[in-house]
Structure 1
Amino acid sequence: MADKQYIIFKLNEEKFAASINHIASITEYASITPLPNGPAYIDGLLNLRGDIIPVVNLKKRFKMAEQKMNEKRILIARKGDIQIGFLVDDASQSMTVEESLIMPPPKIAIKRDNAYISEVCVYNNELIIVIDLDNVLSDEEIEEIITL
């Protein structure tokens, strides 16, 4: 059995994880330019070494309360040839999980609007929800963002 590697990130005080294979880089929070008339979950655009990247606020996307956090990070992910930033409160730890400790999410908890939950895993006796960053936005939503 193969182990899987994840990046742990926080939204408020909750821990989540994403496959290390989906993350191109992690960057410090930098100046984000607001995007007029953009979707409510898009905080704006980030200029990262000459690339203009839309930044999705995962708390807004997941309809979570916005709590003030001292640290913010942006997970940079690729979907095809498009880069998307995901604003999180912290992302500084990686974890390796044995395959035997990774389970599919309970079917009763998954609906169409949270199908981005790919699995759950147990790490240091904590249950952590794994987010598939490729599925946080639909193809239609990505198309809407890149045509703004």
Structure 2
Amino acid sequence: MQVVIFKLGDEQFAVETAKVQSINDTMSITKVPKAPKHIKGLINLRGNIISLLDINLLLDINNDEKEQNNIIILEMEDELVGITVDQVDEVLDIEENIIEKIENDRKKSYIKGIINFKDRIVTLIDIDKLLLN
């Protein structure tokens, strides 16, 4: 399994690369009036208009308006969606057997498991469950 590891605040998260369309630097965001709080706005990526979501709000992580440097474009049910992250750290091939399953907490059903590296812990996110619920 291949994953993209990114940082939000002091924590590291991962999504499967099968869902990732591209990784981009921050670009100009067009705000959408009266949109829900988790929708940051719209971006124009090579002629495609893409909704940009604030994954910090969806994951309940305090951002303190820190600058986010990267946008990960995800393919969700034939639609492109962007999420802003502090930074993309790396793309890694991992063995599925190093993913530790966690007890199913309904509030956090979007967490697929924990990847326990020797020097750090990365939370693997089921991006479909997070964004489509």
What TM-score, normalized by structure 2, do the two folds share?
Answer: 0.90
1:100 CA drift (Å): 2.1
1:70 CA drift (Å): 4.8
Shift of the 137–70 alpha-carbon distance from structure 1 to 2, 3 Å rule, reads: closer
* Preserved contact between residue 25 and residue 71 of structure 2 (Cα < 8 Å): yes
2:124 is matched with 130
Aligned length, in residue pairs: 133
Shift of the 70–36 alpha-carbon distance from structure 1 to 2, 3 Å rule, reads: closer
Name the CA distance, whole Å, in 2 between partners of 1:26 and 1:135: 21
Gaps of 5+ in 2: none
Name the CA distance, whole Å, in 2 between partners of 1:138 and 1:90: 23
1:38 is matched with 35
What one-letter code is carried by the residue in structure 2 that aligns with 1:126?
R
What one-letter code is carried by the residue in structure 1 that aligns with 2:43?
L
Shift of the 129–91 alpha-carbon distance from structure 1 to 2, 3 Å rule, reads: same
* Preserved contact between residue 97 and residue 123 of structure 1 (Cα < 8 Å): no
- Residue 136 of structure 1 aligns to a residue in which SS? helix
1:119 is matched with 113
Shift of the 39–70 alpha-carbon distance from structure 1 to 2, 3 Å rule, reads: closer
1:35 CA drift (Å): 1.0
What one-letter code is carried by the residue in structure 1 that aligns with 2:119?
N
* 1:14 and 2:8 are equivalent in the alignment: no
Name the CA distance, whole Å, in 2 between partners of 1:83 and 1:35: 17
* Preserved contact between residue 7 and residue 89 of structure 2 (Cα < 8 Å): no
Gaps of 5+ in 1: 140-148
Q: Kindly, what percent of the aligned residue pairs are identical?
A: 29
* Preserved contact between residue 13 and residue 123 of structure 2 (Cα < 8 Å): yes
After TM superposition, what 4+ stretches of structure 1 lie above 6 angstroms from structure 2?
Answer: none
1:7 CA drift (Å): 0.5
